[in-house]
Amino acid sequence: MTTVRLPIDYEQKLDFLANLKKKTKSEIIKEALDVFFTQEESELDSYKLGESFFGLYGSGDGSLSTTYKKKLKEKINAKRNSY
């Protein structure tokens, strides 16, 4: 069993929702935790899905992270000058 201290405004909102939905506070908290856990698991799953691809298709040029603006400017200027 877990006990949680809630701010007064949370307690009031929880009471209101419990009365409105005709559910216990415990049921509403469990539903909220289910939503939270599902959301957290999907974020972890997204990372795991792409984990094997991270860094797999590099250019081989280790300086791109520091010189990308210069290289981009050169490509744009070359394209403009070719017209």
Those residues of the chain that have pLDDT short of 70 are 59
> What pLDDT shows up at residue 67?
83
> What pLDDT shows up at residue 37?
92
Two tokens, residue 2: 């877990």
Q: How far apart are the first and last CA of the chain?
A: 73
Q: b or e along 38-68 (b: 16 or more beta carbons within 10 Å of the residue's beta carbon)?
A: eeeeeeeeeeeeeeeeeeeeeeeeeeeeeee
> What pLDDT shows up at residue 69?
87
> What pLDDT shows up at residue 18?
97
